[in-house]
Amino acid sequence: MGLIHELPVELSNQIAAGEVIERPASVVKELVENAIDAKATQVLITVHQSGLRSIEINDNGVGIAADDVEIAFQPHTTSKISTDHDLFNVKTLGFRGEALASIASVSKLTVVTSVDGKSAVKAEFSGNSLLKKETHARSKGTTITVEDLFFNTPARLKYVKSLHTELNKIVDIVDRLAMGHPEISFRLIHEGKDLVWTSGNDNLQQTIAGIYGRTIASHMYAFENSDADYQIKGFFSKPDTTRSNRSYISLILNGRYIRNYQLANAVIRGYGSKLMIGRFPIAVIDITLDPSLVDINVHPTKQEVRLTNEGHIGDLISEGIRQKLSTKNLIPDAVKNL
């Protein structure tokens, strides 16, 4: 008899979860991205014990139809893409259809969701098994509550760092998601304390003020540098307002926060010799391009992407910053509207 057999679905989901659900902040990222894709205008994130006890994401998006609730939690199920053409033209943050199944496989999860703002469905899962499904009432949108993350994967739980570190990672990901979506109001509450709040009034500089504070935001310059294929705009700090590492450079590509060493370098390059050695600027760079010019499907968390013409995009960024900094009588732009 052969030795090879198919893995039980719970186990394959846990393995998939190992790729994307590394820590509480990964759950926050995946669920908030789903809320953004669901066209929410308000997203409320409530966490306890740095997300290890519970993470709740409440959105006012389109909701999940009652008939779809169970399938949404199966692996490889999505409403976002259907064909290979779609895969190379992704306009949403999600498309892999993995997150809900993965999260549910390593936690106790409850979803309450309504499409019409009247009737709602409430479903409870534990380690992927559906425990209960009942009717409920709520306003339009979805609330997903994740409790006891990694309760059934002790090795993963051990790998989680201090509560302080895990909370910082959550704040960091909410900050970046919020900067990518100034049109959405985000609120993060930890143990009853407000940690992040953005107004959702579609103004990037006010969103930056909500995240880094008004003082920093009011010392930033706005710039724009676009051509037929790429629109680049954003804010960057004065050369004397710097940090000791490059993590304050946020790159947003079609509404998705990405990490990209070359493009972060392009920001630094734009300052020429105006930055002190070992100091890094604060910047938020918003890049818009045709989705067919970027391959998002290179990394499970999609924070690393493959870009056609990365060098050219970098040049647009550094040139835009360089030109702005060489303007005579330069006044920070954000001051006016804050």
The bridge status of strand 283-289 relative to strand 249-253 is parallel
Question: What is the tally of helices (H) and strands (E) in the chain?
Answer: 12, 17
CA pseudo-torsion sign 131, 134, 137, 142: positive
Among 61, 180, 270, 332, interactor with ligand ADP by CB under 6 A: 61
Position 34 contacts ligand ADP (CB under 6 A):
yes
Position 36 contacts ligand ADP (CB under 6 A):
no
Amino acid at 237: S
- The footprint of ligand ADP on residues 116-175 (CB under 6 A) is 142
**Beta-bridge partner residues of 230:** 289
Among 51, 61, 63, 94, interactor with Mg ion by CB under 5 A: 94
The SS3 of residue 284 is strand
Residue 92: how many other CB atoms lie within 10 Å? 20
- Among 197, 202, 215, 311, CA closest to 263: 311
- Could you say which DSSP state residue 10 is in? H
Residue among 69 and 170 whose Cβ is closer to ligand ADP: 69
Q: Interface with ligand ADP by CB under 6 A: which range of 72-80, 204-212, 238-246, 251-259?
A: 72-80
Give the nearest residue (CB) to ligand ADP.
Answer: 94
35 binds, among Mg ion, ligand ADP, none (CB under 5 to 8 A by kind): ligand ADP
Q: Interface with ligand ADP by CB under 6 A: which range of 9-17, 27-35, 201-209, 269-277?
A: 27-35
Q: Interface with Mg ion by CB under 5 A: which range of 29-37, 163-171, 223-231, 284-292?
A: 29-37
Give the integer Cα–Cα distance in Å for 251 and 179.
9
Residues that bind ligand ADP (CB under 6 A): 30, 34-35, 38, 59, 61-64, 72, 77-80, 94-100, 142
